[in-house]
Amino acid sequence: MHEILLIATVGLLVGIMVGLTGVGGGALLVPILVVLMHVSPMTAVGTGALFIAATKVGAAWSYYRQGHVEMRLVGRMALGSVPGALLGIGGLFVLRAHLGNNVNEVLKVMIGVLLIATPTIALLKNYMERKRQVSLRDRLPAYITAANGAVMVGFVGGCLVGMTSMGSGSIIMTLLLLFYSRPVATLIGTDITHAAILAAVAGAGHLVLGTVDFRLLAALLLGSIPGAWFAAHMATSVHTVWLRRMLFSVLVVTGLSMF
């Protein structure tokens, strides 16, 4: 019983971070599972994908009801992210076939690199939020349109999520800020909605691989779903800068511990 309560508390905290900032689903959960709860990286990635999908559905619905989701952009990103996620999962399958259990060590290094890179990406995102003058897409060649740019953004995020369950928040959100001139609240809501779809596809792939721990998943969702739903309602009235700084500091330390 105590173990279930502990896991549910972890889910609650991660859910609150997701609802407030759109960041921290896989990037926060996966290292907690690997470093603190000693879950194998493969299981952490597989369980994390379905966790992200279920957690972000409630937050996405809340943003949608507030008019902060651009469904056309979500659809365009999904055109790239769905095949990207399947490609990432296929890569894991090949690695596991060749390396056996040693694939967990490879995954730890990949996760560590992404955790350390996330704060750098966040700094770039914050810079773009402050600048918000001309989007990068306006400076690119004409053949890179809003449509195919969104597909490319989705593909990059899909590959990362398929292999690590990370990147659906921080990395895709940064790419959206670079490429599109939209209100930040709309980009967050659009990112969360797309992440729910992407993570569901990745989670289905991990179900096929057999890398999902359903008992662990159920306990995590017990806390994360209400946490994300409540936080999404409060997101527009809560100052989240200090939360992001604390989160990214923890991610750097955790990433270094993966090596």
Domain ranges of the chain: 2-257
Given a cut of 80, whether residue 108 has pLDDT beyond it is yes
Those residues with Cβ within 8 angstroms of residue 36's Cβ, 6 or more apart along the chain or in another chain: none
Those residues with Cβ within 8 angstroms of residue 30's Cβ, 6 or more apart along the chain or in another chain: 41, 44, 45, 48, 111, 164, 165, 166
Q: Which of 96-100, 172-176, 198-202, 254-258 has the lowest mean pLDDT?
A: 254-258
The whole-angstrom separation of Cα 203 and Cα 154 is 16
Q: Which amino acid is at 164?
A: T
Upper half-sphere CA count for residue 166 (Cβ side, 13 Å): 25
Backbone angles phi, psi at 110, to 5 degrees: -60, -45
The whole-angstrom separation of Cα 162 and Cα 168 is 10
Given a cut of 70, whether residue 3 has pLDDT beyond it is yes
The whole-angstrom separation of Cα 172 and Cα 222 is 27
What is the reported pLDDT for 31?
Answer: 85
**pLDDT-above-70 percentage for the chain:** 79
**pLDDT-above-90 percentage for the chain:** 25
Find, among 55, 59, 56, the residue nearest to 220 by Cα: 55
The whole-angstrom separation of Cα 209 and Cα 202 is 11
Name the CA radius of gyration of the chain, rounded. Answer: 17
Contact 188/25 with Cβ under 8 angstroms?
no
What is the reported pLDDT for 205?
Answer: 92
- 217 pLDDT band (50/70/90 cuts)? very high
Name the one residue in this structure whose structure tokens are 């918000």: 132
Q: What is the pLDDT of residues 26-46, one digit of tens each?
A: 778 888 898 888 899 999 999
Helix runs in the chain, H state only: 2-21, 25-31, 41-65, 71-99, 103-131, 146-164, 170-179, 184-209, 214-234, 241-257
